[in-house]
Amino acid sequence: MLGYFYMTNTQERTLIILKPDTVQRGLVGEIISRFEKIGLKIIGAKMLKPDYDHFFHHYENIGKMISRRGKKTFDVTLEMMNAGPVIAFVLEGIEAVSLVRKMVGGTEPKSALPGTIRGDYAHMSYTHGDANEVGIPNLIHASGDLEEAKAEIKHWFSENELFEYETVHEKFTQTKRSHAKK
Ligand code: ADP
């Protein structure tokens, strides 16, 4: 029976950005290794210091942040993102968008669950951020859904900056029944 069905294509690409706090705290390797260890494939990577317009497009045109969080929060977040270089990655794997969001954890480090990146490496609260009028340095950005991931990847990477290659994990993470059609 199985041979008559098309296998669902569950492969997704998602964008992560290691924020200035991650770069300045020397946590790049530790955080990236979490994604590597579970078998996600890095298909693009670069360090850059984007200008205001680049972040505006990312957080507002794509992420609709002003309507969700307010202009004040938007402004302090952009200020925080401008504090130093960031490192952007495109990761690929099975249902990668929601999987990576799960690993990243909630926006506020104080309430992000232990075991998540934001829960394990930071503890700042919204209360502290608001009182001091600062953006919350929560280490990492990850695309919110598939549509956002597609728009963000297009915004941060050109086609020739994304690579195809085989990893040893794929024997285990990208198995297909040999008779299933692609
Ligand atoms: P997420 O990054 O979890 O998807 P948002 O897109 O809503 O969350 O917000 C983008 C970023 O703005 C957050 O990751 C955080 O760094 C910052 N931020 C969000 N809300 C606040 C807030 N109330 N105070 C300060 N910074 C905030």
Which atom of ligand 1 is the closest one to the Cα of 138? 16
Q: Is the full-model pTM beyond 0.85?
A: yes
Q: Considering only CA atoms, which residue is closest to atom 14 of ligand 1?
A: 107
- Reference 120, options 5, 33, 6, 8; nearest CA is 33
Q: What is the CATH class of 10-157? A: alpha beta
Tens digit of pLDDT for each residue in 124-161? 999 999 999 999 999 999 999 999 999 999 999 999 99
Tens digit of pLDDT for each residue in 50-100? 999 999 999 999 999 999 999 999 999 999 999 999 999 999 999 999 999
Q: How confident is the model at residue 1 (pLDDT cuts 50, 70, 90)?
A: very low
Which atom of ligand 1 is the closest one to the Cα of 144? 4
Domain boundaries, given as residue ranges, for the chain: 10-157
Averaged confidence pLDDT in the chain: 93
From CA 153, how far away is CA 141, in angstroms rounded? 12
- Reference 45, options 59, 56, 29, 58; nearest CA is 29
